[in-house]
A and B are shown apart, each in its own frame.
Chain A
Amino acid sequence: MDRLFELGSEFWVAAAETLYMASLTLLIGGLGGLLLGTVLYTTRPGSLLSNRAVFNIVNVVINFFRPIPFIIFIAAVQPLSRLVIGTGIGNDALIFALSIAASFAIARIVEQNLLTVSPGAIEAARAMGAGPLRILRTVVIPEALGPLILGYTFVLVAIVDMTAMAGFIGGGGLGNFALVYGYRQFEPAITWAAVIIIVVFVQGVQFLGNWLARKVMRR
């Protein structure tokens, strides 16, 4: 325990780094996933802008990247990371890799949730003369908003989980903190302190997500 107090400020820096990595990834990966998922949904056969070629390409790309274990993916995208953001190590490189990986995961979640929108509501909008993009923006996404929020909450929890691998490429965060000061220095109290903060963080996110979704779905 004493050791934990000695490391006090570093502990809070690590916590802040986790928050930083998770929220920035949610923002970038979330937008990327929304875009990819919406493309999947709208181009699938029989949908608003069905286009077999686009659907198949996006589908195959997602299926290619999704099964890659994240720790290997971090290493694999390192050259691309250097090219795009100028570095292959540190928190920002982790955000880069995680945003890409999260985009593909979120794309599937977005696609699944958009598919739950009743075809009847879409038909009604078509019958009123609305075009595909307007229907997407004003009917499909609002109708799916509740489940989408729950989906994003689920993803954010998974993102927090994956930020623990930042230490692998020289990044920080609570995961790295627990491994470096807790695990390697035989200080279980430190490991558990990190665990508790992460659990509190995840509970908070889940609570917020549930509350928002309930507000949107009014159930």
Chain B
Amino acid sequence: MALVALRNVTKTYPAPEKGAPPVVAIDGVSLEIEPGDVYGIIGYSGAGKSTLVRLVNALEPATSGSIEVDGREITTMPERELRGIRLGIGMIFQQFNLFNSKTVWANIAYPLQVAGASKSEISARVAELLEFVGLAGKAKNYPDQLSGGQKQRVGIARALATSPRLLLADEATSALDPETTQEVLELLKRVNREFGVTIIVITHEMDVIQSIATKVAVMDGGRVIEHGDVFDVFSNPQNPSSQRFVGTVVKGTPSPAELAVLRERHEGRIVTISFRDGDASQAAVFVALATAGIEFELVYGGINDIQGRAFGHLTLAIRGADAAVDAVLAEISSRVDVTEVP
């Protein structure tokens, strides 16, 4: 059973001024998130992804539709009961949102106090979490004495304090530099692997999705325009908006401008070969090309690795007799996708 199930959910805000139409932030979204998933939700700012994640822990009430968390419908639940649901959902934020007046220790202890844990339970759990996030020496420090990466690790420890099954990460790495981003993403991976916590990752950065997500939904204008396994969406994005996001991390096919440059520099026919995990091996394709009595050059592209599965697009410039080129293209197109670039 899905851990989180959204069915036809909408969220509308009242018009910002009289006469204007109401603002539709979420427009009929349906998603199912299975236990153990690291589910990425990507979109440009204003796409509705932050609103969507706030519907899951009911920080914002949905306007219509149904949201089930762990099999319980939350859209009709009274506020008091929702607080119990929120105890079972951790959340981390772009700006960390730590309590600046409390020490690292007290920040992590806070949700446990809300949950009514005993003093000894709190001490034990906070110590364990500090160890887990590698901040055992910082218990007595205040947030303003920590670096951005350390603050987010406190945020993660705090979010995990009540041992939630679900963690919501709202642009959790967007305020961090690339190196710290990788550290925090590694930590989130461990959270998923070691504690089996399901994670919903909101981001506008495709490399965040690439490094940790197993599934991805692409949002635009309050709608989910494409969703599926990360490998499928990365290797074969259907929607123009998804293609743009994938293009930010995957060197795929050359753009028209790049193609013009390539044509100036290379003679012959330009052909893009697309590999996908499970298709014929690259070796077979290159052997066929090498023994066909033609010349070829690799001019653009790359091979990407998504969770241990490879895919990529390689663009070749091929010179030789037309008949020989046609013959070899026919041969390899029985193994992989071949697109001749006109």
Contacts and interface: CB of A to CB of B under 8 A. Distances in A.
Nearest to A131: B83
B84 A124 contact: no
Interface of chain A, main secondary structure: helix
A128 B59 contact: no
B101 A128 contact: no
B99 A121 contact: yes
B111 interface: yes
A131 B91 CA distance: 16
Given A123-B59, A129-B86, A131-B83, A142 B97 contact: no
A142 B99 contact: yes
Nearest to B91: A127
B138 interface: no
B296 interface: no
A216 to B, nearest CB: 8
A3 interface: no
B63 to A, nearest CB: 17
Nearest to A143: B101
B87 A120 contact: no
B99 A127 contact: no
A47 interface: no
A130 B114 contact: yes
A132 B181 CA distance: 33
B288 interface: no
A123 B111 CA distance: 13
Contacts of A131: 80, 83
A143 B144 CA distance: 13
B205 to A, nearest CB: 20
13 contacts: A118-B95, A121-B97, A124-B93, A124-B158, A125-B110, A127-B59, A128-B91, A129-B85, A131-B83, A138-B110, A139-B99, A216-B101, A218-B144
Interface of B: 57, 59, 80, 83-87, 89, 91, 93, 95-102, 110-111, 113-115, 142, 144, 158, 162, 168
